[in-house]
Chains A and B, each alone.
Chain A
Amino acid sequence: MRGFIFLATLLCALFGPWWGVLIGATAVSLRYRAYEMLLVGAIADVLWLPNSLAWGMPLMLYATIAIIWILEPVRRELFITDGLG
C-alpha cells in the first residue's frame, strides 16, 4: 500500500494536479513515517520551480516536511503503528 501511494504521488508530481502530492503525503504519513515523500516534494520542486529564489520558495518540499513531521505526534498518538518507516 505504501509503495502504491508513493508511485501514485510520484505520478501526480509529474503529470497530475499538484495537490495530489499533498493528499498522498498526508494519507501515507498518517500510517507511516513516510520520509520517501520528501523525495516526491523535492522532485516536484526540481521540475516546476525555476532556479532563482526570486520565483519563490520550494513550497512542495516545505509542505512535505511539514506534513511528515507535524503528523508524527498525531500518528503516534492516534494510529496503531509498528514503528516501521
Chain B
Amino acid sequence: MNWSRRSSDRESSSLKRALFFTIIVVAVGMIDVGLGGQLRSFARDALTPFANSMTTAWRSFLTFSDLSTRVDLLERVQVAEDEAARLKERDALFQFLARENAELRDIARVAGTVDSVTAPIASSFRASPYGTFVVAAGWQSGVEEGALVLSSEGFVLGTIADVGLRTATVRFVFAPEARVEATSDANAFTLIGQGLTTATARVPVETPLVIGAPVYIPSLNSLPAGIITHIASTTASVYADIYVTLPTSLNSIRHIRIVPRDLPTIPE
C-alpha cells in the first residue's frame, strides 16, 4: 500500500516537473522572441567558443591516437577530393570570367576595393536543420545582416541572417525549400534549395541550358551561386529538371569572405 502510494507520488511529482520544465522552456523562447532574439545572440556567443574547443580537442585526439593512420588516409582522400572540387570550381569560374566584358572588369575592380571580412567557420555545416551555419565574426568585426557570404573563389554561399557580438549566422542560398530567382545564359528560373549546396528547378524543355554553365542570382548582386550539373528530361514531359550544385566541397571550406550587399550590380 505504502509502496504504491509512494510510487504514485513520485509519478505525480515527475509529471509536474516535466510540465514545469516545458513551460519554462517555452516561456524563455517567447521572451526571446519578444526581445528580438537578444537571449539567443548571447547564448550563441557563449556556446560557439565551447563548440570550437570541442572540435579542436576531437581533432587533437584523432591526431595522437591509434586512429591517426586512418585519419592520415582520410585526409589524403580529402585533399584529393578538395583538389578535384577546386579544379571544377576554377573551370566554372573561368567560364564566368570569359563571359564578362570590359565593363564588368571595371565594376569588379570597384568591387574588389570594397571592404570585406574574412572569417573562419565556427560550426558544422550539417548539424543545422535550417540550412544555416555560424561564422566567427560579428558586428564587432563590421558584419551586417544581409551581407553576402562568398567562397574563396567568389561563389555566393549564403547571406548573413543574424549577427551577434562575435558570431554571425549564415543561411545557405540553397537552404532546404528556399526559393530563389536565378539566371543562366539569360534564361530565368526559380531554384528550390535541396539543402546546403544543391538546388533544383523546372524549366521548359526547350530552354537552351548547358551542363557546366554558371548560375547567377540577380538578387545577390548577380553573383554566381553554382553550376548546372545535370539536366533531366523525358520525351513525355514538356519540362526538364535541372540540378545546380555549388562546385566547392564544403569540407574544404575553412574561411569565407563576407562582403556588403550594396556592391555595384554585376550584369550577366
Contacts and interface: CB of A to CB of B under 8 A. Distances in A.
Q: Do A and B bind each other?
A: yes
Interface of A: 11-19, 33, 35, 38-39, 42-53, 55-56, 58-61, 65, 68-69, 82-85
Contact of A14 (B14, B40, B54, B169): B54
Interface of B: 7, 10-11, 14-15, 17-18, 21-22, 25-26, 28-29, 33, 36-37, 40-41, 43-44, 47, 51, 54-55, 123-124, 126-130, 132, 134, 161-162, 169, 171
A81 B122 CA distance: 41
B21 A48 contact: no
Contact of B54 (A15, A82, A85): A15
30 contacts: A13-B127, A14-B47, A15-B51, A15-B54, A15-B55, A16-B124, A18-B126, A18-B127, A18-B129, A33-B14, A33-B15, A35-B17, A35-B18, A38-B21, A42-B28, A44-B127, A46-B43, A47-B44, A47-B47, A47-B51, A48-B128, A48-B130, A50-B37, A51-B162, A55-B171, A56-B130, A60-B129, A65-B22, A68-B22, A83-B11
Nearest to A48: B128
A75 to B, nearest CB: 12
**From DSSP, what is the main secondary structure of chain B's interface residues?**
helix
A54 B175 CA distance: 14
A42 B29 contact: yes
Nearest to B43: A46
Nearest to B48: A47
Contacts of B25: 38-39, 42, 61, 65
Considering the complex of A and B, which 5 residue pairs feature the smallest CB-CB distances, nearest first?
A51-B37, A50-B161, A48-B128, A83-B11, A50-B162
Contacts of A53: 33
Contacts of A56: 130
